[in-house]
Each structure stands twice: as structure tokens, then as C-alpha cells.
Amino acid sequence: MLSAADIKPSHGVFWPEWGELKIFLEPFLYQGERVETSIRYDLIGVPDLRQLQGMTVLADNPEGASIYFHGCHHPVDIEEISFGSGTEKSIPLAFSGTVVANALSSFESFRISIEAPVLLPLSKEQIDQRVHEAIQFVQASGARDVGRVMARIRSVGIPYGEQLAEISRAVAVVLGAVVQ
């Protein structure tokens, strides 16, 4: 039987271009199967989570959240979301809601409370800083070193894998592998 005790958040990410917030969950067992999933919520019209720091807002789309497992989306009704004061890397988020069982569910609806840091994408300045730090670290001197620089950047981690192309282009430009 699935319950609130099974739903443990890891971290969140926010894609402003899609208005999508995902809170990744620690893996859990459901009907003997390991489930790796997230709670997805559409925050349409929010270009930057930094604007919501220190605010508690009523969910503008209370039925816009879901958790996908066992072959289907299960609605998560969210009443309000609180955004704490963050850092340049993340903003703490908290919300409560109800995971709604549907006709195919073998569990009863249950309430959850989630608290997780939402990682923020790197700014242009942060990307430039990481590129220059990695170039110095590997002592890169030209286009042939792009791979080593990118390996260093990946080894220290970036919050959004989707930014790898942007970072790779910045490395190539700095090392002269690409002319702007």
C-alpha cells in the first residue's frame, strides 16, 4: 500500500521555458516494483523562481500536478506553495497536497507534505566562471582541450544537464574551437 511515508523528495528543478517544476523523489517500492519518478507541476507564467523567494502563493493550477508510476499519472492536488529565501544555486520549496487515487489505483488517496531545494539553472556569468575555472584547472591551451575541460565541468556537477550544450559552446569559443 502506498502512503505519504513512501514519498520522500530529493530535489527539484524548474524549466522556465516550459513553466514546469519537477520534484524528484527518492526511489520507492510499489507493488513489488522499484519506482523512480517525480512530482511534476506546471507553474505557467513564472519566468524565474527567484521572483517568488519568501512568498507563499495559492496554487494557480491546483490540478496541474501529477506523479507518474505504475503506468499512469496520478493527480496531486496542491493548495499552496511556499518559496523560501534561496542562494544563487537553489531556492527551498514547500507544499502540501493530496495524491489522488484513480480507478486503476490500488491505494487510497493520501496527503503529502514536500520540502525540497529547487536547483536553479546557471546564469551566463556562472557558466563563464565555471568555464574559466575548468580551463585553468586542466591547463587547457587550445581547441584540442575542449573534451578535457568539459569532463572537468561535468565532474564538479551542473544542476541542469540541458545546459551542457550552452556550456560546451562557451568552452569552444574561449578555446578558439569556434569563432563567434
Q: pLDDT digit string (tens) for 56-93?
A: 887 666 567 899 888 888 899 988 889 999 887 889 99
Write the burial class of residue 81 (CB in 10 Å: 0-12 exposed, 13-18 middle, 19+ buried): buried
- Contact criterion met (CB below 8 Å) for 23 and 9: yes
For the chain, give the mean pLDDT: 86
Where a domain ends, among 97, 119, 141? 119
Residue 76 lies in a domain: yes
Statement to judge: residues 154 and 70 lie in one domain: no
Instruction: Give the C-alpha separation, 85 to 64, whole Å.
Output: 24
- Kindly give, in sequence order, each residue whose CB lies less than 8 Å from that of residue 28, ignoring residues fewer than 6 positions away: 2, 6, 7, 8, 34, 35
Check residue 180 and give its pLDDT. 53
Residue 147 lies in a domain: yes
Q: Beta partners for 68? A: 73
The boundaries of the domain holding residue 14 are 4-119
Q: Is the pLDDT of residue 17 over 80?
A: no
Pairing of strands 65-69, 38-42: antiparallel
Statement to judge: residues 56 and 43 lie in one domain: yes
Statement to judge: residues 104 and 137 lie in one domain: no
Statement to judge: residues 147 and 166 lie in one domain: yes
